[in-house]
Structure 1
């Protein structure tokens, strides 16, 4: 009996030591912060996973003062039954807890009518928000809600451009990311009726785009940068809506390339081979034009957009979502994908939406990291086999979620804080989706 007790004690001690070793294992380290198996340490601040269902954080925004602090919460504990969704277990408490936090916030992000809610602060269904979220994970996790939400953004059998400069469409033309999301839902569900329905919607929408935003001279697609729709945040102040319409942007062209590729696949699945070949040719034209007009051989990544009234010139800034989509959508070849990952500017808190920043413009898209963009950058790194970029990206997603105890929409690129951007929200759909 004494032998059994001694053996049991030794076993418990061994398990405890192993657990401590995993908790203290450094998963990522930079000058700004360190990720351990069970915690994130950023200077005097620490966020810790007490268990797979509980987190604590002492983070306070530097935007606060001696009289008042700015913070989201000091603790989080799982309060919903998430057993209906895929479960995640690893050797480390931190990623386990952050996954469970994201799943709980995903449940919060479904309205009573079974459509997605954009964020804690913002109700309603938004075309690009739901579409990028569905591509990241919601097609797999909530396909029915994804379907309902996508169909909410259809009118006259066409996709709605619900936000953007100058009254949205055609100044903004990235609504077509809807098509990529709809295809993701089909790949998960195999629902033939869904495919038939969305094929007609996407065909009609692309036909409108060919007339309104396809530039026959350059072969590119006109319209504002995808999701970067706060004019002065990413465009020169002199540019009016008409000028922004005439710009030809990296991310938006990546979207339109992929839309045509998806449409070709839809046509093939529906045995419309003539249409499939037509859309493949349109995609290839956009692809070759992106390489011709937007690639920067000296910087080894793509430029932000072509712009100008009389003669178009290329903005040399990097544009994070566009760079990522060049890789995720296979616009760039394998060797170019690695080159983009190795040369696109990334700072200590993540990949900024644009780089370099625009002086005297407050953080929002300018001088900001958006976690959903970081997630696409992580996908790009994984696809291209760049382990270093992948680990850095995952860490740049873990840190804010753990410190803030919620999935914020954005944070300041230069200091990693959530309170310094123009507007923000907790429980953001596309952030938690990544």
Structure 2
């Protein structure tokens, strides 16, 4: 996408802020926070790039990839494309920025292709994905373990790691300033490599390269086996956070890693249910990493340790719902609504898992070389798009496929929240209005623009232009 196109797109986006998508349910909190979430996303694209939020800029591969995947590929496909290319290098042939989470870009990019059906985008995205994966295989793959090295997906601060990765004599906040951080092998990071291999196989299929597709599928299965061997205890059904450079396993609960292991099928359905049942969830949501490292506590929680990062909780809610635990999904969604409304109606970056207060957590850094409480950034984009993910994918069951937008609404969640309508929901060049009639836990019928479309709960909508009204008729 050429940059001169962006201002015209942005003008339309900014005009939409007062007329954004509207959610109408019997839950006033949910409706209000949905409005705040969409406005937060639009607020953070004023400079053509999906910014991380608040005082952060847009130069974060992981933020852009997660935000496009969560919601922006649906609502803002042009800006999503521009943002995805913005974090590539060498004329869009390599993925850029911090190496350990570069490969999550593949997830955002393939989701963008499914949202837009743009084969030209897919072709170039596949080139960037292949080149980057090959480079990472050559430079950061530990052949002894069969796992990729480097920090966990978003934990670029040293507060996310226990000794011997953390060195109390070192005063830097940045994880890679600690020599023992480089050889670590983390659950969440290896999960996104596994998923990238799967998606690159799908890309190769779409581009008629069956041999490359088969190679990537084999690599995915090999990596999956290594994750299960080294980071999953089948006897206790527990996933571990990481393996350090001395070969020691750190048996902490990593929320993002657990969620991805379930979502991507690294654990089977029975294992997933047990993981969800056993996981520790605090009074204000699943903590990012649990329990506290020895240098932190409830009173002084680590920035990347026992705190709630809402985008992690959104993925966890997704994983829990996948195991049939709608109650845990409801808890995380309602909890996030309360956190936002109790913090000046704003999506913050991080919250205290025990008190619910806005809290950036403790971490060393700057000139003092001592731990101090960091800021929790306001208007954090992935906190907002995580909320949108829970509405779009959880309640409505919206999922991009090769054939179009799949709609698999969850009638239980619709009834629980009193879902009535969602309006002006953009899909490609058209808009959707989805409404529910009836008050049961079973979908009896679906109508598209007044015409009977079947009784199935999964309905694939082909890419289209114009306005489409979908009526979901529920009953007992």
Match of 1:128 in 2: 62
Conserved 8 A contact 2:53-2:378: yes
Structure in which a larger fraction of residues adopt strand = 2
The 2-side partners of 1:333 and 1:364 are apart by: 32
**Pair 1:348-2:300 in alignment:** no
1:357 pairs, out of 256, 276, 292, with: 292
Conserved 8 A contact 2:40-2:379: yes
1:140 pairs, out of 59, 64, 74, with: 74
Match of 2:156 in 1: 229
Cα shift readout 1:49-69 (whole Å, capped 9, x = no counterpart):
xxxxxxxxxxxxxxxxxxxxx
Indicate the larger mover: 388-397 or 249-258: 388-397
**TM-score relative to the length of structure 1:** 0.76
**Pair 1:211-2:138 in alignment:** yes
1:413 pairs, out of 332, 353, 359, with: 353
Match of 1:402 in 2: 341
The 2-side partners of 1:419 and 1:329 are apart by: 30
SS at match of 2:22: coil
Match of 2:382 in 1: 430
- Tell me how far 1:80 sits from its aligned partner: 7.1
The 2-side partners of 1:130 and 1:275 are apart by: 27
Conserved 8 A contact 1:110-1:116: yes
Cα shift readout 1:76-101 (whole Å, capped 9, x = no counterpart):
xxx97447644321122111111011
- Tell me how far 1:123 sits from its aligned partner: 2.3
Match of 2:6 in 1: none
Cα shift readout 1:176-212 (whole Å, capped 9, x = no counterpart):
1011000010111000111001000000000001101
The 1-side partners of 2:238 and 2:331 are apart by: 19
SS at match of 2:148: coil
Conserved 8 A contact 2:44-2:51: yes
> For structure 2, which runs of at least 5 residues remain unmatched after alignment?
1-13, 168-174, 362-373, 387-476
Conserved 8 A contact 2:126-2:200: yes
1:107 pairs, out of 39, 42, 48, with: 42
Match of 1:386 in 2: 325
1:279 pairs, out of 207, 210, 216, with: 216
2:29 pairs, out of 82, 89, 94, with: 94
The 2-side partners of 1:423 and 1:251 are apart by: 24
2:252 pairs, out of 307, 317, 325, with: 317
2:95 pairs, out of 129, 153, 159, with: 159
SS at match of 1:88: strand
Conserved 8 A contact 2:147-2:190: yes
> For structure 1, which runs of at least 5 residues remain unmatched after alignment?
1-78, 163-168
The 2-side partners of 1:402 and 1:232 are apart by: 28
SS at match of 1:379: helix
The 2-side partners of 1:331 and 1:110 are apart by: 34
**Pair 1:338-2:268 in alignment:** no
Match of 2:231 in 1: 294
Distance 1:420 1:410, change over 3 A: closer
Conserved 8 A contact 1:364-1:412: no
RMSD over equivalenced CA pairs, Å? 1.8
1:189 pairs, out of 98, 104, 116, with: 116
The 1-side partners of 2:155 and 2:75 are apart by: 27
Conserved 8 A contact 2:142-2:148: yes
Distance 1:97 1:194, change over 3 A: same
Distance 1:85 1:191, change over 3 A: farther
Conserved 8 A contact 2:21-2:38: no
Which has the greater radius of gyration?
1
**Pair 1:270-2:197 in alignment:** no
- Tell me how far 1:161 sits from its aligned partner: 2.3
- Tell me how far 1:301 sits from its aligned partner: 2.2
SS at match of 2:32: helix
The 2-side partners of 1:344 and 1:296 are apart by: 14
Conserved 8 A contact 2:159-2:304: no
Indicate the larger mover: 366-375 or 241-250: 241-250
**Pair 1:368-2:278 in alignment:** no
- Tell me how far 1:359 sits from its aligned partner: 3.1
- Tell me how far 1:265 sits from its aligned partner: 0.3
Conserved 8 A contact 1:299-1:343: no
- Tell me how far 1:232 sits from its aligned partner: 3.6
Conserved 8 A contact 1:130-1:429: no
Conserved 8 A contact 1:139-1:146: yes
